[in-house]
C-alpha cells in the first residue's frame, strides 16, 4: 500500500482524509503543528510528524519517500501580513516537493483558485496552484471545493446571543456549499491509489447552490427556530468584530475582500454542474447531523 503524507492532518478535511486513508489500509504520515492533537491519529496507526508547514526542512523530511502528499495553505488569523505568510508557506511546499522527490500531489485549493487577485485569502491558493503547475514532471490534482458548510457553524454564538444569523454576504446571493467530509472523500479516492498523471483541476460544487437567507432557514429549522432571520452586516462592522476576535488587520481586510468577491459573484463557479462535480451531503443533512448537535453542545 502507498505511503501518503497528509498536511493539516488535524483539520476538518485533513483529519477526515487521514482516517479514510487508514481505513483503506494506506500508510499515513500525519503532519500538523500540534503534537497533542496528532495523538488520536497515532492511536489509529498513523505516523505523526509535528511541525510547521512553513519550515521547508521539516516538510522535506515529512514528504521524503511518500508516494503522494496532500497539501494546503492553512487558514491564518493573526499574522501581521497575510500575503507574505502565504508566500512563505507556498515556497516551503515547493522546496519540500522538489527536494524530497515527491511525484504526486493532491492540493486543497478553492473555488476562485484560478483568479490571481481580488479574492482575499484565496489568492494564496492561486499561488499554490501556479507553483504546482511549474514543477516539471509533478502529477497534481487541484481540488477546488465550494464554500464550506462548516463555515456556518461560526453563526452559533450569534444565534444564541442575538437570535439571528448573519454575515457580510448578501442574503440573496447564491453560493454552492459543500460539506468537508465530501471533500476528504474525493481526496482519499485519488490518494488511496495515486495513479493520476499531469495537472488537473477538480471542481467540487456540493449538492446545489443556496442563498444565505435559505441557509439560515434550513439551519433554523434544524434547531427549532424555523423563522431564524438572516442579517447582512456592513463590511466595517464585520471587520471590527473579527478584529475583536484576534484577527490581524491584514487578515480582516482579506476577508472583507473575499466577501466582496462573493457578493459581486466573482468567485462562484462557472463550471457546468455534473455528476462528477456534485457531492452528496445536502445542507439539510448537514443541519441535522452536524449543526444541530453543535448548537446543542455550545
* Number of domains forming the structure of the chain: 1
Residue 215, in any domain of the structure: no
pLDDT reported for residue 269: 79
* Residue ranges making up the domain that contains 83: 3-148+178-204
pLDDT reported for residue 270: 83
Q: Which of 101-115, 159-173, 265-279 has the weakest average pLDDT?
A: 265-279
Q: What span, in angstroms and rounded, lies between the C-alpha atoms of 212 and 232?
A: 9
Residue 39, in any domain of the structure: yes
CATH (domain of 135): 3.40.50.720
Q: What span, in angstroms and rounded, lies between the C-alpha atoms of 280 and 270?
A: 20
Residues 151-165 have a mean pLDDT of 96
Contacts of 29 (CB under 8 A, 6+ apart): 3, 4, 5, 6, 46, 47, 49, 62, 66
Residues 28-48 have a mean pLDDT of 97
Residue 51, in any domain of the structure: yes
Q: What span, in angstroms and rounded, lies between the C-alpha atoms of 141 and 108?
A: 9
Residue 53, in any domain of the structure: yes
Residue 158, in any domain of the structure: no
Q: Is the pLDDT of residue 298 over 70?
A: no
Residue 168, in any domain of the structure: no
Residue 50, in any domain of the structure: yes
Residue 214, in any domain of the structure: no
Q: Is the pLDDT of residue 116 over 70?
A: yes
Q: Is the pLDDT of residue 184 over 70?
A: yes
Residues 258-269 have a mean pLDDT of 94
Amino acid at each position: 500500500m502507498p505511503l501518503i503524507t497528509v498536511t493539516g492532518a488535524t483539520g476538518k478535511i485533513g483529519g477526515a482524509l487521514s482516517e479514510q486513508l487508514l481505513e483503506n489500509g494506506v500508510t499515513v504520515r500525519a503532519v500538523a503543528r500540534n503534537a497533542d492533537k496528532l495523538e488520536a491519529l497515532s492511536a489509529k496507526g498513523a505516523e505523526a510528524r509535528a511541525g510547521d508547514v512553513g519550515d521547508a526542512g521539516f516538510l522535506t523530511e515529512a514528504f521524503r519517500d511518500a508516494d503522494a502528499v496532500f497539501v494546503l495553505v492553512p487558514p491564518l488569523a493573526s499574522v501581521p501580513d497575510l500575503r507574505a505568510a502565504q508566500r512563505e508557506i507556498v515556497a516551503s511546499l515547493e522546496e519540500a516537493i522538489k527536494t524530497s522527490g515527491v511525484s504526486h500531489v493532491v492540493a486543497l485549493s478553492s473555488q476562485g483558485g484560478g483568479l490571481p487577485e481580488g479574492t482575499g485569502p484565496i489568492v494564496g491558493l492561486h499561488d499554490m496552484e501556479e507553483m504546482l503547475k511549474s514543477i516539471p514532471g509533478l502529477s497534481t490534482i487541484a481540488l477546488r471545493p465550494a464554500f464550506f458548510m462548516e463555515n456556518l457553524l461560526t453563526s452559533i454564538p450569534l444565534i444564541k446571543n442575538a437570535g439571528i444569523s448573519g454575515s457580510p454576504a448578501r442574503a440573496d446571493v447564491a453560493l454552492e456549499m459543500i460539506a468537508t467530509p465530501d471533500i476528504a472523500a474525493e481526496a482519499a479516492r485519488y490518494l488511496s491509489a495515486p495513479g493520476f498523471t499531469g495537472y488537473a483541476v477538480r471542481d467540487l460544487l456540493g449538492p446545489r447552490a443556496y442563498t444565505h437567507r435559505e441557509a439560515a432557514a434550513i439551519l433554523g429549522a434544524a434547531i427549532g427556530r424555523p423563522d431564524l432571520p438572516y442579517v447582512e452586516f456592513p463590511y466595517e462592522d464585520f471587520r471590527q468584530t473579527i478584529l475583536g476576535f484576534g484577527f490581524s488587520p491584514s487578515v480582516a481586510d482579506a476577508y472583507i475582500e473575499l466577501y466582496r468577491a462573493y457578493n459581486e459573484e466573482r468567485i462562484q463557479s462557472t463550471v457546468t454542474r455534473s455528476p462528477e462535480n456534485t457531492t452528496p451531503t445536502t445542507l439539510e443533512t448537514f443541519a441535522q447531523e452536524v449543526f444541530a448537535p453543535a448548537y446543542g453542545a455550545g
